[in-house]
Amino acid sequence: MPKGMFVDTSICTGCKACQVACKEWNGLPHEPGHFRFDPVEKRPVAVNFTGDSYDNTGDLSAADWRHVRFIEQFSEDRARSRARWLFSSDSCKHCNDAGCLNACPTGAIVRTDLGNVTVQQDVCIGCKYCIPSCPYGVISLSEASGTVRKCTLCNDRIHNGLGTACAKACPTGSISFGEVAGLKAAADRRLAQLKGLGHADANLYGYKEAGGLNVFYLFLDRPQVYGQPETVVVPQKRLPVSSAVTVVGALALGAAAMVSFRERGSREEDEEVKK
């Protein structure tokens, strides 16, 4: 039975307990700073830290497997009625049709019996092809190990009867861990409740995307607002057409060669030259 997580963003408070728990359980290092010279400050400044938001890392990475997004919806005039602060704790979605796993040329990325997608660190060669193949921008190269790393759904914990570290640490119950089927039932109930309370835009994200996400979300606004793509095409779905068009290109050149190199054509040309 696949296990997963349901992230109910409507009750997330942005405390980042999940980010901390994830770092601690998985022993993840700090994000390595990428410095670039800043002409205004006249000194090198780390360009991969935000510094202008409570959102400190801004993105998922090989060292940050959880990331709490802070979505600051304030109108220009800061009118109070419109002001809204949305939070969403993001991670690998453990897609049922996982672009990263499909793209892996070494078999390093595998799905376990619990449905989670993990990278075998001793097999990964760091070819980086999975990185642009993940439609969610999750999997990333670790400069320290030379391999790609991402959330494992706490593979060690869940195979020993525990839930994920982030779900355990979440003080509001925004992240819950369990069997996907059961989580979906709870998500459906919660959506109906929110709709009843007048949250017309509330929606569930991840039932159909990428073959179904084992880590799925309840959003109060459109998924786009939370940085999640509204139409997801797993890249490998395009492989047959992409290959076919490439073959057509090859055939066109084959035909070009046939007309160009044919003996008869050349002989005519020789005669022309002689004239």
145 near another protein, judged by CB under 8 A:
yes
| Site size for another protein (CB under 8 A) | 69
133 near another protein, judged by CB under 8 A:
yes
Smallest gap, in angstroms, from Cβ of residue 135 to another protein?
4
- Please report, as residue ranges, which positions from 46 to 85 form the binding site for another protein (by CB under 8 A): 59
CA–CA dist 118, 92 (Å, integer): 10
The residue written with tokens 């690998």 in the block is 92
Amino acid at residue number 167: A
260: left (phi over 0), alpha (psi -120 to 50) or beta: alpha
CA distances from 31 to 23, 63, 105, 120, 144 (A): 11, 6, 27, 21, 11
Which of 17, 28, 63, 134 binds ligand SF4 (CB under 6 A)? It is 134
Q: Are 76 and 95 a contacting pair, CB within 8 Å? A: no
| Site size for ligand SF4 (CB under 6 A) | 13
With CB under 6 A as the contact rule, which of the stretches 77-85, 120-128, 133-141, 244-252 interacts with ligand SF4?
Answer: 133-141
Assign 3-class secondary structure to the chain: CCEEEEEEHHHCCCCCHHHHHHHHHHCCCCCCCCEEEECCCCEEEECCCCCCCCCCCCCCCCCCCCEEEEEEECCCCCCCCCCEEEEEEECCCCECCCHHHHHCCCCCEEECCCCCEEECCCCCCCCCCHHHHCCCCCCEECCCCCCEECCCCCHHHHCCCCCCHHHHHCCCCCEEEEEHHHHHHHHHHHHHHHHHCCCCCCEEECCCHHHCECEEEEECCCHHHHCCCCCCCCHHHHHHHHHHHHHHHHHHHHHHHHHHHCHHHHHHHHHHHHC
* Residue placing its CB nearer to ligand SF4 in the complex, 139 or 180: 139
Which of 57, 116, 147, 214 binds another protein (CB under 8 A)? It is 147
* Residue placing its CB nearer to another protein in the complex, 123 or 181: 123
Smallest gap, in angstroms, from Cβ of residue 17 to ligand SF4?
22
135 near another protein, judged by CB under 8 A:
yes
With CB under 8 A as the contact rule, which of the stretches 4-12, 36-44, 72-80, 98-106 interacts with another protein?
Answer: 98-106
Smallest gap, in angstroms, from Cβ of residue 149 to another protein?
11
The option from ligand SF4, another protein, none interacting with 246 (CB < 5 to 8 A, set by class) reads another protein
The option from another protein, ligand SF4, none interacting with 105 (CB < 5 to 8 A, set by class) reads another protein
Smallest gap, in angstroms, from Cβ of residue 193 to ligand SF4?
28
Which of 150, 165, 170, 202 binds ligand SF4 (CB under 6 A)? It is 150
Which of 20, 32, 102, 191 binds another protein (CB under 8 A)? It is 102
Residues within the interface to ligand SF4 (CB under 6 A): 92-95, 98-100, 117, 134, 136, 138-139, 150
Residues within the interface to another protein (CB under 8 A): 59, 99, 102-108, 120, 122-129, 131-142, 145-148, 227-229, 232-233, 235-236, 238-239, 241-246, 248-250, 252-254, 256-263, 265-266, 269-270, 272-273
